[in-house]
Amino acid sequence: MEQGTFRAYSAGFIGSLLLTLAAYFTVVGSHGPKLGIDLAVAAFAVVQAALVLYFYLDLGKESKPHWNITVFLFMVLVTVLIVAGSIWIMYHLNYNLMPKHS
């Protein structure tokens, strides 16, 4: 599919919408283990990120994609550090601030 056309943008939008709804209904209608739900939602997020990169950002389509890929990988690194740091902080706040049962 040719990049930058209405058809490509529509396909990206519909794909993103379907993946968002799939993640939502996975969480809302879930009765399985929490780890499985978390992994399923993370998988939907990764697929949706790849879909957005392909349909909207055209990553890797130009003749010299070196800088775009470098900037993208740096963005991934920063995002992972922020998310992991936030989860670490929330875990330790929960552990240290919850009352101890005697």
> pLDDT digits over 67-85, tens only?
777 877 888 899 889 989 9
Examine the domain organization and report whether 54 and 67 are in the same domain: no
The alpha carbon torsion through 47, 51, 52, 58 (nearest 10 deg) reads: 130
Q: Where residue 86 falls among pLDDT bands split at 50, 70, 90?
A: very high
Examine the domain organization and report whether 86 and 98 are in the same domain: yes
Q: Where residue 64 falls among pLDDT bands split at 50, 70, 90?
A: low
Examine the domain organization and report whether 6 and 47 are in the same domain: yes
Distance CA(86)–CA(80), nearest Å, equals: 10
Q: Name the residue range of residue 30's domain.
A: 1-58
- The per-residue pLDDT for 35 is 87
What's the number of domains the chain is made of?
A: 2
Examine the domain organization and report whether 75 and 31 are in the same domain: no
Burial (CB count within 10 angstroms: exposed 0-12, middle 13-18, buried 19+), residue 12: buried
Any residues with CB less than 8 A from the CB of 55 and at least 6 apart, and which? 3, 8, 9, 11, 12, 15
Last residue of a domain, one of 58, 75, 91: 58
On average, the pLDDT of the chain sits at: 84
Examine the domain organization and report whether 46 and 10 are in the same domain: yes
